[in-house]
A and B are shown apart, each in its own frame.
Chain A
Amino acid sequence: AQSVAQPEDQVNVAEGNPLTVKCTYSVSGNPYLFWYVQYPNRGLQFLLKYITGDNLVKGSYGFEAEFNKSQTSFHLKKPSALVSDSALYFCAVRDTLYSTLTFGKGTMLLVSP
């Protein structure tokens, strides 16, 4: 079985400060990990993915995420938040044994001016 947990329903951060959105996963095999973002009244968009190789992956809009196998985590980060980053963020995992993605419940990121 595969599952993903996003422990925070909401994250609040001031513009210009660093942000972290947390994600932990559980898989039987090896994980493939993804972050998607949903802006208000828009569809989900792909941000970044970890498949193999370097544990730090970089994606769109200045976001990055760090894969930590020992902690089974894949936290999303950005050094300096923008108000326009305010959106709903979803972490997703695919076990090598499966073909489908399992998504977390999402974390609402609110960046204040």
Chain B
Amino acid sequence: GAGVSQSPSNKVTEKGKDVELRCDPISGHTALYWYRQSLGQGLEFLIYFQGNSAPDKSGLPSDRFSAERTGGSVSTLTIQRTQQEDSAVYLCASSFRSRIDRDNSPLHFGNGTRLTVT
């Protein structure tokens, strides 16, 4: 079946511009995560959506970062006034929160969006 889809796969933008990154999770997956992967930094948690609950935004590095999840499906990560330190691969993951596994269900990752801020 279809996996997690992210677009665009690559994005080059000028410093100060706004960017929007899109994530289409696996159909039926109620949990959606955004992570950022930088060289030497591993995976940095950004934000977590679970069903209709309020998102966990505790990982967003600054108020320039925001995310929405519309209709419990597609999510958009927005970075305003991009800075060079925002350059990274942004990964989206989704999971099905089963009654048994709950928050321990395996995450299914997309291939990421590589953001380069010049």
The smallest C-beta distance from A77 to any residue of chain B, in angstroms, reads 20
Instruction: Tell yes or no: B60 within 8 A of A by CB.
Output: no
Nearest CB to that of B103 among chain A residues? A99
Q: Contact: A49 with B42, CB < 8 Å? A: no
Question: How many residues in B have their beta carbons less than 8 Å from beta carbons of A?
Answer: 25
Q: How far is the CA of A104 from the CA of B35 in the complex (A)?
A: 12
Q: Contact: B91 with A43, CB < 8 Å? A: yes
Instruction: Tell yes or no: A22 within 8 A of B by CB.
Output: no
The A/B interface has a contact count, at CB < 8 Å, of: 55
Identify whether the interface residues of A are mostly helix, strand, loop, or mixed.
Answer: strand
Q: How far is the CA of A101 from the CA of B45 in the complex (A)?
A: 8
Q: Contact: B110 with A102, CB < 8 Å? A: no
Q: Contact: A102 with B103, CB < 8 Å? A: no
Question: How many residues in A have their beta carbons less than 8 Å from beta carbons of B?
Answer: 22
Q: Contact: B42 with A90, CB < 8 Å? A: yes
Q: Contact: A105 with B40, CB < 8 Å? A: yes
A residues near B, CB below 8 A?
A: 6, 32, 34, 36, 42-46, 49, 51, 90, 92, 94, 99-106
Provide 10 A-B residue pairs closer than 8 Å at the C-beta atoms, listed in order of the A residue.
A6-B42, A32-B104, A44-B43, A45-B109, A49-B104, A94-B103, A100-B58, A101-B33, A101-B45, A105-B40
